Amino acid sequence: MVGEVVHNARVLVKEKISEAGVDLLRQHFEVDVRTDMTDAELKERINEYDALIIRSATKVTADMLEGSTRLKIIGRAGTGVDNVDVKAATKKGIVVANAPESNSVAAAEHALALLMAQCRQIPQAYMSMKAGKWERSKFSGVELTGKTLGVIGLGRIGMLVAQRAKGLRMDVIAYDPYVSSERFRENGLEQADTLDAVYAKADFITVHMPKTPETLGMINDEAFAKMKDGVRIVNAARGGIVDEGALARAVESGKVASAGLDVFTQEPVPADFPLLAYDNVVVTPHLGASTEEAQDKAGTVIAEQVTAGLLNQFVSNAVNIPAVSAEAMEAVGPFLPLAEILGRLIMAIADGPLEDFTIRYEGQIADHDTRLVTVAVVKALLEGRVEETVNYVNAPSIAEERGLKVAEVKDKRSRDFTNLITVVSKDRRGELTAAGTTIGPKHKPRLVKIYRHDIDIEPAKHMAFFQYDDVPGMIGRVGTALGERGINIAFMNVGRKKTEGRAVMGVALDDPIPQEVLGERGINIAFMNVGRKKTEGRAVMGVALDDPIPQEVLDDIVKMPGFHEARAVEL
């Protein structure tokens, strides 16, 4: 679901990943493993590849991507994408994907290791013994049990840290405005409405936020002033979230009893890095993801993501499509194929240009974040109609550039379906709809409305839809016409819409008739006449075909009496 399937694709693995990941890629593509390639050489040769896989050492800048026309996806074998200019990649329609879950356990365990190391002064005690000393009284520590851990950021890693801290019999208070209250309750965590609430209550604070302009330097002098005296800090997330100068001042003053850092604003840190001067600051050289298990998993996961992207499948870890939580993705992911089908279908059946679009979500799906489903519809609306290759990354921006307006409407009530998605627009004939649902545990798409008629038919690769007068013999005419031309119907269905006739009666009376008189009241009719207008019902027929139907066949069928419209649809 990224774009067209890339045949004979070439993948550049510029930094070391697991052999399992490389082997997976080689099952589908030509793979060059060039860990010796410089960034300058990469810029020069970037158009030789359809996909690029990196770790943290390669910097993919806007300048490097400026001349790129072939690259489809950049895979970062790890969690962060700080070394990739995501905005520049997005502008070019390049998917940027990472492997966020691959090192989650490793990072969470390392954060706890830094917490325990500083609480029990393990590195200091180790160095003392290496120097031939036995200083038991010098390295007295503090216990974790019964203390309060403040977790700032409750994503994958933050949640793992919180769960493990609960196992250590700690109380946990966490702050994350993008996590539901139910998620806090399920895990037995106290939900903080503000960062200040965490600062006021926590004995230990661990940071698990992404590095953004908003989070850069967020743990600063002002934040430290609001914390408990003797607080202990852990940052195994991103360098720069904790202001290192402010931390040095807080350690110097005694406000912070100790700190554990795995990430830094500048990596490697300079020899004169101020925090190295403090014995109560435990530091490690960005080891959060450095376990054998995490490294193997990162390579495999990113290989899977790149493969999905190049084979026109959904890239679940793409960072430059609408961010959807794992819970929401589980709920809405099965509807992405249906959404693309509806987008293609409504464009194919339209009589003339379409105006703005409304996407209605009804039933259980209305409870979830449907932005990604809407992007799937927009992608399908634009595919083959703009000169750019359209994918989940650039579809919203292309639509915006063309003034295409798409609105979402949600209703948790649905009369006939557990979940219903309806795409609504207007063509020359008025309102136009295409609606569908999914059935069964595998969520097989099902079309339930076409044109302005209810229908029930499974989507197929080659389809045709006919509008005609609802009179006997019409289905047979279509079957005969297709059969005579060697076109086989796989299956079909008909949606009927019967409109009852009405009549008008005019009567001349000998006397005025009161408004309330509806029955026999002795008022004589002098003479009368009746005007009748019978409106025949119309129907829509959907047929799935073994082969595409030529336009001239559709034209011949529409020329038959009673047929009004015929459209071929390739799904």
Whole-angstrom CA distances from 225 to 90, 229, 342 are: 40, 9, 55
**Annotated catalytic, 286?**
yes
What are the tens digits of pLDDT across the range 276-288? 999 999 999 999 8
Yes or no: say if 202 and 175 are a contact pair by the CB < 8 Å rule. Answer: no
Residue 477 structure tokens:
């005419």
Residue in 44, 267, 293, 355 annotated catalytic = 267
What class has domain 327-451? alpha beta
Between CA 102 and CA 312 the distance in angstroms is: 23
Residue with the two structure tokens 């990941």: 21
Amino acid at 436: G
CATH number corresponding to 10-100+293-313: 3.40.50.720
Assess whether 238 carries a catalytic annotation.
Answer: yes
Q: Which architecture, in CATH terms, is 104-283?
A: 3-Layer(aba) Sandwich (3.40)
Instruction: Tell the CATH topology of 461-571.
Output: Alpha-Beta Plaits (3.30.70)
Residue 519: predicted pLDDT: 46
Kindly report the pTM of this predicted structure: 0.55
Residue among 238, 360, 368, 453 flagged as catalytic: 238
Cβ neighbours of residue 365 closer than 8 Å, sequence gap 6 or more = 331, 332, 335, 373, 419, 420, 421
What pLDDT does 211 receive? 81
- Residues ≥6 apart with Cβ < 8 Å to 72: 2, 3, 6, 9, 50, 51, 94, 95, 309, 310
196 vs 159: CA distance, rounded Å: 20
Model pLDDT, residue 495: 75
DSSP labels, 265-290: SSSSPPTT-GGGG-TTEEE-SS-TT-
* CB contact at 8 A, 360 and 411: yes
Amino acid 431: pLDDT: 86
Q: Which amino acid is at 49?
A: Y
Sequence length of the chain is 571
Q: 89 with 60: CB under 8 angstroms?
A: yes
Give me the residue label for tokens 């503090």: 142
List, in order, residues 6 or more apart from 321 with CB less than 8 Å away. 95, 315, 372, 375, 392, 393
Percent of the chain with pLDDT over 90: 44
Does 104-283 match 10-100+293-313 at the fold level? yes
List all residues 6 or more positions away from 299 whose beta carbon is below 8 Å from its beta carbon.
17, 18, 19, 20, 21, 22, 77
**Which residues fall within 8 angstroms of residue 256, CB to CB, at 6 or more apart?**
224, 227, 230, 231, 232, 233, 247, 250
DSSP-derived secondary structure for 463-485: EEEEEEE--TTHHHHHHHHHHHT
Instruction: Assess whether the previous peptide bond of 213 is cis (omega < 30° from 0).
Output: no
- Catalytic site residue from 55, 110, 156, 286: 286
The pLDDT assigned to 408 comes to 92
- Domain positions in the chain: 10-100+293-313, 104-283, 327-451, 461-571
**What backbone torsions phi and psi does residue 247 show, to the nearest 5 degrees?**
-65, -40
**Weakly modelled stretches of the chain, pLDDT under 70:** 1-7, 178, 322-327, 384-389, 401-403, 496-536
